[in-house]
Chains A and B, each alone.
Chain A
Amino acid sequence: MIKNFRKNNIDLLFIFLSGVVLLFIASPIIGLYFNSTLNGLIETTTDVEVQESIWLTLWTSMLGTIVFSFFAIPLAYLLARKNFPLKNFVNGIIDLPIIIPHTAAGIALLGILNRNTFIGKIAETFGLSFIGNSTGIILAMSFVSIPFLINSARDGFLSVPERLEKVALTLGASKTKVFFSISLPLAWRSVLSGLILMWARGMSEFGAVIIIAYNPKVTPILIYERFTTYGLKYAVPVTVIFISISLMIFIFLKVIKKKN
């Protein structure tokens, strides 16, 4: 009886504490919807600046995720399968963008991508510039979000029994075929999770992007600008629309992932 009471007691305590955390996460988001009016939302949805900003945010983050996945996934595979000197150091480097302030990440990127640096000059000879344009936005977004893809994909590859890869080799498959027919498909759920996380994290990036490219404005910067210029009332509708679109996309992707 006492045992049951204690058990029930601890269950109730945990349910209460969990509720507090969930409320803490959900209430500001739900509050946004209550604080916005239908007219305000319709007006903002038809605002060309908002439409262009959301589209810019979506495609830059998506393109960054796709381009960098060609580098991040092989790196994740190597980290899962090979042992090499300074492996822990390499793992530490991968997590750096997560732990440093994102404005500092932006400053660091600006330091190597501006027109006076070697990389900046080479890019300029091809008529490219990283500062104040979508290329810079892609790089800033990818810089802060790529650890999510690498870590998730590495965990995915680690969960694939190495023996299956070796069995595939004994059955005459080349290493390339083993990677594409065994390792990658079996790690795909984690890789897809990493891709979704990287895309999401890139879309929400503010600190690094504002240093590299204030214009063209990605949505987090547009929200910030409307808040500082016009106040909370004008920032809320953009925020609501951006969150709604993001939620719809992620729910859609999660459903696809689950089906896979």
Chain B
Amino acid sequence: MLKLENVNLSAGKFSLSNINFEVEKGDYFVILGSNGVGKTILLESIVGINKINCGNIYLNSDEISKKEINQRNLSMVYQTIDLFPHFSVFDNIAFPLKNRKEKKVQEKVIELARTVNVEDKLNQKPDTLSGGEMQRVALARCLATDSKILLLDEPLSSLDTKSKNELKILLRNLNRKGITFVHVTHDYEEAISLANKIAVLENGTIVDVNEPEIIFKNPKSEYIANFIGHKNFLKGKVKSIQNSDLKKFIVDNYLEIYCLTDLNDGEGFLIISSDDISISNQKEISSNRNNFIGNIIDISKAKIGYEIIVDLGYKFAVSISKESIENLKLSIGKEVWISFKASACKIYR
């Protein structure tokens, strides 16, 4: 339905390259990325507000990247409210209908207002509505275009929890009725609760597109790894060791970590759960293949127990109990050893 092919674009400080993804009819497609990676610019480029430098954008097989904004038949709901302040709710929703000289504007506006539950607000001006109501009106206005795909730019981020949950239910219902969504957000819980497909935007490109379960089970980016609590996330290269089941995972030609993996040599991502790392004051003789010395740079309360950050050139998070901190007399600045098994290292590619 919507396909981006090798799209490159730059706008202000943002630069995105080699953007490829395809949204199928009926998808709830979420583009997930941290703040300031260019998610809004990407959506604005799809609707035509920003020009792309190269690549193609197809909507139902029709190449639209050279078309004017008002010829693309794509509309967008922004994070901050973008209702026309001098129009009533009715006129805001009627705007796209009147633009294409639709008959029965009155009936259609009422029907759309009912869909998003603002039928009692039709005569009000936008500045008299709550944040959630304004977003619902903006959504109704988008639905009033004859576009079958809606682009949403963090539509929930400025709402309180109640409004957020109501809007989520509404979005899911609309999706079930056949409306296709492309929704950008930095909130992974939002992504999980809505998406049937997620694209991860990181370092100016799409690093992964997949179903939510696969994205979060096999994270391919630090961003996703951090989301799901894996703070020990490293990028590096897998290298075989002769006559051994073990392999080395080499980070920046500096840190060498032993791991057990069936992946071939090459680049990859390593994740070690903070629960799998143990900490001691002296180097311990054990089955742990990985032993490193470093300094404690932070001790903080975690959801369960405490979390210690050990700096050995790379920062490792270690989960620990309060009793262990007291027994080992751990404090910020203290030199300690961390160790973990080769089998605790999960390598993804």
Contacts and interface: CB of A to CB of B under 8 A. Distances in A.
Given A164-B82, A185-B86, A186-B85, A170 B49 contact: yes
Nearest to A182: B84
A170 B96 CA distance: 9
B316 interface: no
Interface in A148-205: 161, 163-164, 166-175, 177, 181-182, 185-186
Interface in A111-137: none
A182 B86 CA distance: 8
Secondary structure dominating the interface of B: loop
A84 B136 CA distance: 39
A172 B99 contact: yes
A169 B78 contact: no
Contact of B141 (A169, A171, A175): A171
A206 B177 CA distance: 70
Interface residues of A, number: 18
A171 B77 CA distance: 11
A157 to B, nearest CB: 15
A167 B76 contact: yes
B145 A172 contact: yes
Contacts of A175: 70
A164 B84 CA distance: 7
Interface in B129-147: 141-142, 144-145
B49 A173 contact: no
Given A166-B49, A166-B69, A171 B96 contact: yes
B9 interface: no
B82 A172 contact: no
Contact of B48 (A170, A177, A181, A185): A170
Contacts of A181: 95
Contact of A174 (B48, B70, B72): B70
Interface string B42-82: 00100111000000000000000000111011111010001
Contact of A170 (B75, B86, B100): B75
Contacts of B48: 169-170
Contacts of B73: 172
Contacts of A166: 44, 49, 69
A251 B261 CA distance: 83
Nearest to A172: B99
B98 to A, nearest CB: 9
B76 A170 contact: yes
Contact of A163 (B82, B86, B96, B100): B82
Contacts of B144: 171
Contacts of A161: 82
Contacts of B74: 170
Given A166-B49, A167-B76, A167-B78, A172 B96 contact: yes
Contacts of A168: 84, 95
Given A164-B84, A185-B86, A172 B100 contact: yes
Nearest to B71: A172
Nearest to B85: A186
Interface in A52-84: none
Given A164-B84, A177-B99, A170 B70 contact: yes
Contact of B82 (A167, A174, A177, A186): A167
Nearest to A170: B75
Return the 6 tightest CB-CB contacts between A and B, nearest first. A172-B99, A169-B69, A171-B96, A170-B75, A169-B70, A166-B49
30 contacts: A161-B82, A163-B78, A163-B82, A164-B84, A166-B44, A166-B69, A167-B75, A167-B76, A167-B78, A167-B82, A168-B84, A168-B95, A169-B70, A170-B48, A170-B49, A170-B70, A171-B75, A171-B141, A171-B142, A171-B145, A172-B73, A172-B96, A172-B99, A172-B100, A172-B145, A173-B99, A174-B70, A181-B95, A182-B84, A186-B85
Given A164-B84, A170-B76, 7 more contacts: A170-B48, A170-B69, A171-B142, A171-B145, A181-B95, A182-B84, A186-B85
Interface of B: 44, 47-49, 68-70, 72-76, 78, 82, 84-86, 95-96, 99-100, 141-142, 144-145
